[in-house]
């Protein structure tokens, strides 16, 4: 039963006499009638939820505190993800509220603000409570700092797009739920996915005169959809995947036309030559030598406009990073990106409003459509059609239950390193080697931040515009990671007053991305459970040591550049205030569970090789077990690379297109 009237929320916010009022802290906005009605919950639950939300986000003079609207929006997000998760969410909020009883004899909602903050700091170091606390905190931060009234206090409104042209190629884009044609289409090649693999293969084949149909599970979004909202971005553009093992690691990938290329930072590294040499040795071929791959890299780079990031668009952090690296004698420079004409409008992971980034939805798919290709969006590939041991098409399911079939002479799976093995495992295809889903490398990443005396204004500039590659051969890459202000709180695995202090200083905050190459491809995609991918990945102790080493190096660089405070993004560790603190941090070994991990680069789950007994596809990307079935995405990349894989996948897809065309 919903709350009978808004005033019913008032007793929930009433604090005991020992809890001081905070009149100087602004309220974001009163809850709307819809938000109030959405909280169909008991007053006891609301009291607990508000206590947890206020403790994590207590507000400041510049930041409104978390309130009923924050709680309602958080539950909306959980419900949109999966209604089955709502009871778990509510139980977690109640459990955190009453976890305070163990030490204080009172629940969290009965404590003063000072006592709440003290409990929070203790929980952030507690091995049992820090994981659920971090999960709850991530959702609350995501929704609270994305609220327009909160966001606008931190920065100006984003430069939204209000008018769009209608290019001719759009006539080739069709939403599957609204498709009015035949339920069976015929073509030369059906391509599942439109990202770095599928978008490239489709254009290359269409330009050679082959009839191509793209099947894309996500929707087609144009510039006006990229409105800067982190909540809407995750709901619309991203695919949910989390690996479980000795750590819990979110794995981010795109689910829209353009795939991850449409919502990444545009960073373009060629595959390091020593990695290509390793491939050639492992695969017993010269096909992937630096010389053999160079024409493919050059073709892709020309089409997507790869060039060094302009320093004025990278912003002040480029000078800070250069200063620190120069004082230490480390190699550094601007990253190469596929964004000619970048206007530096901020966090690219929410989409490029300027359309400067030459993602596949800009540089490849439209060109294919202009040559007669067809794009079906909102259509999830359910199974590959196989006749006589040969792939002859694909059957897809639209959200409204509509089924469409695309019959083709060749089938290309290019959904990514997680969706592609899931499809094969679900159908039992190409599994004779027992390698489908195995050999997962994720190139685990973590974060680091530093507070400087001068303004950095990260949200006004390119996110990954500058890098230090001094330690690349050691499998360590350090880059800038300037995120938007509504996402900055998500970087930090703590809340309360510590979080408010950091958020209030966001203009002087330098943020960095730290990536290590997996010491071994030890992960596995097992299949699906409850409609979600079941992924196992254990971070190797050696990788945790290398990440800690990279954090120390990031700290050395920042201190050399003049940083006042350092924030290694780890569980339970305080900020570091100078060289002595950094040395102490370096001498305190971190376990894999102490580090906040995430991944954007899953690779290797459909191993390439000559031996059908030990690999899924051959050197031509065709499945050993199923003729006419090709896999062209990150799942065939023998990971890890130690760098962002976008350019590698696109170059390999360009090469693969030649093999597909040659077989037609």
CATH number at residue 253: 3.50.50.60
Contact 262, 644 (CB under 8 A): no
Q: Residue 206's pLDDT is what?
A: 98
**Average pLDDT in the 529-553 region?**
96
C-alpha dist (Å) from residue 99 to 48, 57, 85, 540: 11, 18, 21, 32
Q: Residue 131's pLDDT is what?
A: 87
Task: Answer whether residue 587 shows pLDDT above 50.
Answer: yes
CATH number at residue 582: 3.30.410
Give φ, ψ of 213 to 5 degrees: -120, 125
Collapsed DSSP state (helix, strand, coil) of residue 450: strand
Of all helices (H) and strands (E), which one includes residue 103? helix 101-104
Where do we find the tokens 């096909």? 287
Domain that holds residue 512: 308-337+445-517+540-594
Cross-strand partners of 411? 190, 629
> HSE (CB half, 13 Å, CA atoms) of 453?
4
What's the chain's average pLDDT?
A: 92
Cross-strand partners of 396? 381, 404
In a domain, 88, yes or no: yes
In a domain, 523, yes or no: no
Q: Residue 540's pLDDT is what?
A: 96
Q: Which range has the worst mean pLDDT, 93-107, 148-162, 237-251?
A: 148-162
In a domain, 294, yes or no: yes
Task: Answer whether residue 11 shows pLDDT above 50.
Answer: no
Neighbouring C-beta atoms of residue 593, cutoff 10 Å: 17
Same-domain status, 275 and 320: no
Q: Which range has the worst mean pLDDT, 216-225, 292-301, 483-492?
A: 483-492
Task: Answer whether residue 555 shows pLDDT above 60.
Answer: yes
Task: Answer whether residue 34 shows pLDDT above 90.
Answer: no
Task: Answer whether residue 384 shows pLDDT above 80.
Answer: yes
**Average pLDDT in the 325-344 region?**
96
Same-domain status, 84 and 216: no
In a domain, 528, yes or no: no
**Average pLDDT in the 595-599 region?**
96
Give φ, ψ of 481 to 5 degrees: -145, 65
In a domain, 499, yes or no: yes
Give φ, ψ of 466 to 5 degrees: -145, 150
> HSE (CB half, 13 Å, CA atoms) of 117?
13
Q: Residue 494's pLDDT is what?
A: 94
Domain boundary among 95, 129, 150: 150
Task: Answer whether residue 221 shows pLDDT above 60.
Answer: yes
C-alpha dist (Å) from residue 109 to 95, 100, 118, 561: 12, 9, 13, 43
Same-domain status, 92 and 214: no
Task: Answer whether residue 543 shows pLDDT above 80.
Answer: yes
Same-domain status, 282 and 418: yes
Angle of CA points 433, 255, 384, to nearest 5°: 40
Collapsed DSSP state (helix, strand, coil) of residue 112: coil
For 246-258, write each residue's pLDDT tens digit: 999 999 999 999 9
For 623-649, write each residue's pLDDT tens digit: 999 999 999 999 999 989 999 999 999
Q: What's the token pair of residue 599? A: 């991944």
Q: Which range has the worst mean pLDDT, 159-173, 310-324, 331-345, 510-524?
A: 159-173
For 101-147, write each residue's pLDDT tens digit: 999 999 999 999 999 999 999 999 998 998 899 999 999 999 999 98
For 464-479, write each residue's pLDDT tens digit: 999 999 999 999 999 9
In a domain, 158, yes or no: no
Q: Please give the model's pTM, rounded to 2 decimal places.
A: 0.93
Same-domain status, 431 and 283: yes
Kindly tell me the number of DSSP H helices and DSSP E strands found in the chain: 23, 22
In a domain, 530, yes or no: no
Q: Read off the pLDDT band of 14 (50, 70, 90).
A: very low
Same-domain status, 398 and 464: no
**Average pLDDT in the 360-369 region?**
98
Where do we find the tokens 């049992």? 128
Same-domain status, 510 and 638: no
Q: What's the token pair of residue 288? A: 């992937």
Where do we find the tokens 């007669």? 372
Contact 368, 269 (CB under 8 A): no
**Average pLDDT in the 569-581 region?**
92
Domain boundary among 571, 594, 617: 594
Q: Residue 648's pLDDT is what?
A: 98
Same-domain status, 119 and 95: yes
Q: Read off the pLDDT band of 20 (50, 70, 90).
A: very low
Closest CA to 653 of 324, 272, 300: 300
Domain boundary among 150, 169, 194: 150
How many distinct structural domains can be found in the chain?
Answer: 3
**Average pLDDT in the 568-575 region?**
90
Same-domain status, 223 and 360: yes
Q: Residue 350's pLDDT is what?
A: 87
For residues 505-517, one letter each, b for 16 or more C-beta atoms within 10 angstroms of the residue's C-beta and e for the rest, the string is ebbbbbbbbbbbb
C-alpha dist (Å) from residue 537 to 253, 427, 583, 593, 595: 17, 23, 30, 13, 15
Task: Answer whether residue 18 shows pLDDT above 80.
Answer: no
Same-domain status, 33 and 80: yes
* CA–CA distance, 176 with 376 (Å, rounded to integer): 6
Q: Residue 163's pLDDT is what?
A: 74
Same-domain status, 145 and 196: no
In a domain, 529, yes or no: no
Q: What's the token pair of residue 199? A: 């978008």
Same-domain status, 584 and 656: no
* CA–CA distance, 570 with 572 (Å, rounded to integer): 6
C-alpha dist (Å) from residue 642 to 142, 162, 519, 645: 29, 39, 10, 8
Q: Read off the pLDDT band of 275 (50, 70, 90).
A: very high
In this prediction, what percent of the chain has a pLDDT beyond 70?
93
């Amino acid at each position: 039963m919903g709350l009978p009237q808004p005033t019913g929320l008032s007793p929930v916010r009433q604090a005991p006499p020992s809890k001081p009022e905070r009149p100087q802290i602004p309220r974001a906005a009163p809850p709307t009638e819809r938000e109030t009605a959405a909280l169909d919950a008991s007053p006891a639950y609301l009291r607990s939820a508000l206590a947890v939300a206020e403790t994590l986000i207590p507000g400041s003079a510049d930041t409104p505190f978390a309130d009923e609207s924050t709680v309602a929006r958080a539950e909306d997000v959980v419900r949109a993800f999966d209604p089955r998760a709502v009871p778990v969410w509510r139980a977690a909020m109640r459990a955190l509220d009453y976890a305070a009883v163990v030490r204080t004899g009172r629940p969290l909602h009965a404590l003063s603000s000072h006592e709440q903050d003290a409990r929070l700091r203790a929980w952030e170091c507690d091995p049992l409570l820090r994981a659920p606390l971090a999960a709850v905190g991530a959702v609350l931060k995501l929704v609270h700092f994305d609220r327009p009234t909160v966001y606008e206090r931190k920065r100006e409104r984003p430069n939204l797009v209000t008018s769009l042209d209608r290019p001719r190629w759009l006539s080739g884009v069709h939403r599957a739920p609204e498709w009015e044609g035949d339920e069976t289409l015929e073509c030369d090649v059906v391509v599942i996915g439109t990202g770095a693999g599928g978008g490239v293969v489709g254009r290359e084949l269409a330009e050679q005169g082959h009839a191509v149909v793209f099947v894309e599970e996500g929707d087609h979004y144009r510039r006006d959809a990229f409105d800067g909202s982190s909540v809407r971005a995750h709901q619309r553009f991203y695919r949910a995947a989390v690996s479980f093992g000795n750590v819990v690691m979110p794995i981010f990938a795109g689910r829209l036309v353009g795939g991850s290329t449409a919502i990444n930072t545009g960073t373009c590294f060629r595959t390091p030559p020593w990695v290509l040499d390793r491939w050639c040795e492992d695969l017993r071929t010269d096909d992937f030598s630096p010389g053999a791959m160079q024409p493919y890299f050059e073709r892709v780079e020309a089409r997507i406009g790869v060039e060094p990031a302009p320093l004025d668009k990278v912003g002040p952090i480029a000078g800070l990073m250069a200063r620190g690296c120069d004082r230490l004698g480390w190699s550094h420079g601007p990253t190469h990106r596929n964004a000619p004409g970048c206007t530096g409008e901020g966090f690219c992971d929410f989409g490029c409003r300027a359309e400067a980034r030459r993602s596949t939805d800009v540089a490849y798919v439209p060109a294919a459509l202009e040559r007669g290709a067809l794009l079906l969006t909102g259509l999830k590939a359910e199974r590959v059609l196989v006749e006589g041991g040969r792939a002859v098409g694909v059957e897809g399911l639209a959200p409204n239950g509509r089924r469409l079939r695309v019959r083709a002479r060749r089938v290309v799976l290019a959904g990514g390193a997680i969706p592609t093995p899931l499809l094969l495992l679900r159908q039992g295809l190409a599994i004779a080697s027992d390698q489908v889903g195995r050999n997962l490398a994720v190139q685990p990443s973590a974060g680091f931040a530093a507070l400087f005396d001068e303004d950095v204004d990260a949200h006004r500039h390119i996110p990954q515009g500058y890098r230090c590659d001094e330690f690349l051969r050691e499998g360590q890459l350090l880059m800038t990671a300037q995120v938007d202000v509504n996402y900055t709180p998500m970087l930090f695995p703590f809340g309360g007053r510590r979080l408010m202090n950091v958020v209030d200083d966001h203009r002087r905050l330098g943020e960095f991305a730290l990536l290590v190459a997996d010491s071994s491809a030890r992960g596995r995609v097992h299949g699906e459970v409850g409609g979600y991918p079941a992924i196992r990945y254990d971070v190797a102790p050696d990788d945790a040591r290398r990440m800690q080493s990279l954090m120390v190096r990031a700290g050395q660089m920042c201190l050399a550049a003049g940083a006042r405070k350092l924030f290694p993004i780890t569980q339970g560790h305080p900020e570091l205030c100078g060289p002595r603190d950094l040395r102490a941090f370096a001498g305190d070994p971190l376990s894999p569970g102490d580090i906040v991990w995430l991944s954007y680069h899953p690779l290797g789950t459909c191993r390439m090789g000559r031996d059908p007994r030990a690999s899924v596809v051959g050197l031509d990307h065709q499945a050993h077990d199923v003729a006419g079935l090709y896999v062209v995405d990150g799942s065939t990349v023998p990971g890890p690379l130690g760098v962002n894989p976008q350019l590698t996948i696109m170059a390999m897809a360009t090469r693969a297109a030649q093999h597909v065309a040659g077989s037609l």
